[in-house]
A = this chain, B = another copy of it.
Amino acid sequence: MPVPSHILDPPFNIVRCSHAVLDVVNLNASREFYERTIGLHVEDRNDQAIYLRGSEELQHHSLVLRKATEPACNRLGFKVGDEGDLDKAASFFSENGIVHTFAERPFQGRTLQFSDPFGFEVELYASMEKRPHLLRRYDLYRGAHPQRLDHFNVFAAEVQDTLDFYARLGFRLTEYAEEDGPQGRIAAAWLHRKGNVHDFALTNGKGPRLHHFAYWVPGAMNILHLCDVMASSGYLENIERGPGRHGISNAFFLYVRDPDGHRLELYTSDYFTGDHDHAPMRWSLKDPRRQTLWGAPAPRSWFEQGSPFPGQAVREPQFVADVTVTD
């Protein structure tokens, strides 16, 4: 089997994906989009950054928009179990030659930032400032009613190596798309820590780049309402794909682009994956239900465009799969 088995005793404990840090060129335009249209809650702001979160999130932010001259995915954030895990992570990175540094980050304190061997910029922290959740503030409802950050999906130029690296950090495979035949290569992989389909997904393509980040919403009607709102408020062109249902993950989905072109997925209805004997599900690249159980085909932009990481050169993928496979 070409799929690495998960590592039950990882070197340190990543609990889940936590926050995205995006570089945007116009803070006001981004705020208008994320707060008034998508429905995230602005928790803090200054001239340089806006901090937002979903309605159930107790942490200060799950999305940071930073003023910049060029759009980029500045950093992907994951939460670890406790402060000790940060030290274990630093040791592990030192032993394995991974560039890393500790920094103090606003609202999240001691933060361990590293560049993984493939150029993805990641940061780890143990405890962020807390805020009361907004689950019962239905009077603040807007847009798609996003509840929590669910996952990141990236274009990786070296899918198998990237998968091996994150499996070693304790990420467990739930679904994967593979070429048929004895030499079949993995073209996409969904990896989790928190117990649903994914915290982090990898897609064969020009990388390192962010394909999308996703928020979980309570139900499909929230997604249809967002389509109506975007069509009403001048964001029709920002709807890129969907609504529809993925075969992979069983999720009902919508993909939209923000004013800088960063891609956001609204996502609902996947399943529990936390059993120790949970077996990854294989999809043939030739099965069209993988990407789209039903719904219109994804447009070209969806397969090709993504957000680069600042200072990281984008490389061609190691191979071209038989079929385009991003999901």
Please give the residue numbers on chain A whose beta carbons come within 8 Å of chain B beta carbons, in ascending order.
15-16, 37, 56, 58, 79, 81-82, 126-127, 130, 133, 135-141, 147-148, 194-195, 218-221, 224-225, 227-233, 236, 239, 243-245, 247, 250, 252, 268-269, 271-272, 274-279, 289, 293-297
* Chain B residues, CB < 8 A from A229: 138-139, 141
From known contacts A81-B276, A276-B15, A277-B127, infer whether A225 and B296 are also in contact, taking CB-CB under 8 Å. Answer: no
In the complex the two chains form, is A135's CB within 8 Å of B250's CB?
yes
Q: Which residue of B lies closest to A220 (CB)?
A: B224
Contacting A293 at CB < 8 Å: which of B133, B231, B297?
B231
Once the chains are docked, how many angstroms separate the CA of A15 from the CA of B139? 36
In the assembly, what is the distance between CA of A304 and CA of B15, in Å? 39
Nearest first, the 10 A-B pairs at minimum CB distance are A296-B296, A138-B228, A219-B219, A139-B233, A56-B271, A231-B294, A138-B232, A139-B232, A81-B276, A227-B294
> Which residues of chain B have C-beta atoms less than 8 A from A233's C-beta?
138-139
State the oligomeric state as a number of copies: 4
Q: Is the CB of B15 within 8 A of A275?
A: yes
Q: Closest approach, in angstroms, between the C-beta of A129 and any C-beta of chain B?
A: 11
Can you add 9 more A-B contacts, CB < 8 Å, to A136-B231, A219-B219, A239-B294? Answer: A58-B275, A137-B232, A139-B233, A141-B225, A147-B271, A219-B220, A224-B252, A228-B294, A243-B243
Question: Given the complex, which residues of B lie within 8 Å of A271, measured CB to CB?
Answer: 56, 133, 135, 147-148
Cβ contact within 8 Å between A82 and B276: yes
Q: A148-B272, A276-B82 are in contact. Are A247 and B139 (CB under 8 A)?
A: no
- A79 nearest in chain B by CB position: B275
Residues B133 and A231 in contact, CB atoms below 8 Å apart:
no
- For the complex, give the distance between the alpha carbons of A247 and B130 in Å: 20
Q: How far is the CA of A141 from the CA of B236 in the complex (A)?
A: 17
- Give me 13 A-to-B residue pairs in the complex whose CB atoms sit less than 8 angstroms apart, sorted by A's number: A56-B250, A82-B276, A82-B277, A135-B271, A136-B289, A138-B225, A141-B225, A147-B271, A221-B221, A227-B295, A228-B245, A228-B294, A230-B294
Q: Which residues of B contact A130 (CB under 8 A)?
A: 279
- Complex partner residue of A218 from B140, B269, B295, B296, CB under 8 angstroms: B269
Shortest Cβ gap from A137 to chain B (Å): 5
Residues of B within 8 A of A138 (CB): 225, 228-229, 231-233
> Do residues A195 and B274 form an inter-chain contact, with CB atoms below 8 A?
yes
CA distance A58 to B277 in the complex (A): 10
* Highest count of chain B CB atoms <10 Å: which of A139, A239, A295: A139
Q: What B residues does A133 contact at CB under 8 A?
A: 271
- CA–CA, A106 to B19, complex, Å? 44
